[in-house]
Structure 1
Amino acid sequence: MKTFGLFFILSAHVLISESADLSNPLNRGFYIEDISEHQSIRLGSPFELFCNVTDGGSITENRDWKYCTWTRNRDGHKCKSTYVCKGQLCSIGIGTYSVVTRCDYELQSTEFFGQDPNVSNTLCGIKIQRASQRDEGTWTCSITQCAIRGCDAASDTTVEGTVQVNVF
């Protein structure tokens, strides 16, 4: 009987410790698992940038993203992709999913790439058709997690990663 009481106290302490600082995204299950390496691209050549997120196997997190924005930091131009659900039961994760991407005029020839959105939505990539000098510099991917149940809404968790692009 005494062993059970000690186990309960230790278990309660561990649970409190694990959830103590949720303000830091690294303490949550949602984070960038993989990101494009820094790239050197020949002027006029195509190139791709991607971020891939995960929930780290957590049962309390949603591994999919709701919003993914790629920003060319040099001028602030962006492509924003939104994970969209159509159907009556989207709030509980049942529906037909797609990704809608809108880019600033200066990036309008940019293409989104990712997985089949009806299976998984952890990869957010863009393909630039022809590298220009404007593409040189730092690019940032900013990814906002889906709400825990379904993906009709976003959570309050956003993670960011950067990639350096050199154009020669």
Structure 2
Amino acid sequence: MIFTSTEPNINVDLLNWRSETGRFELGMRSVIYGIRVVLSYPKGYGYEVNYCVGLNGTYIVLVFEAVRQVLLEFDEQCDVCDIRRKFPVQTIKPMNNDPVCFQHLLQKGAASLEKNPDQELESIDWKKNFEVMEERFQSRFTRKEAFRKEQQVNQQIDVL
């Protein structure tokens, strides 16, 4: 599968890459404790790959690039069970606390690179993307905090 950069959305709100036919989205989404690298569906019907990477920039880049590299092995019409089977299961979160999963993921990415040495991946300007992701991440939690405060005020009003 080949992915092309596109605009983030509610499912992948930090960084979004869409597959050629639009069946899958590979991206990053913000969660309360950091960032997840996910392979999802554009309509938001769950995740086929879902790795918690926290906020460590090195892990964010390496996990995303390894996942993207491994996905080159698959045809877009493949059975999603094959995709799930290919990726190691993360048992401890974030990824820097799960060295076994991290090592297996990097090994699979390297093996895929050996199988597809001529396959060119679109390069990513990680510095620029980190700036944009940081802005989106902060914005999301500012809105979330405002929503929480509004709920607290409404609960207090309901009590009165």
TM range (shorter): under 0.3
TM-score, normalisation: structure 2 = 0.25
Instruction: Kindly indicate which of the two structures has a greater share of residues assigned to strand.
Output: 1
Larger C-alpha radius of gyration, 1 or 2? Answer: 1
Q: Which has the higher contact order (CA 8 A, sep 6+)?
A: 1
Normalised to the residue count of structure 1, the TM-score between the two structures is: 0.25
Which one has a larger percent helix, Structure 1 or Structure 2? 2
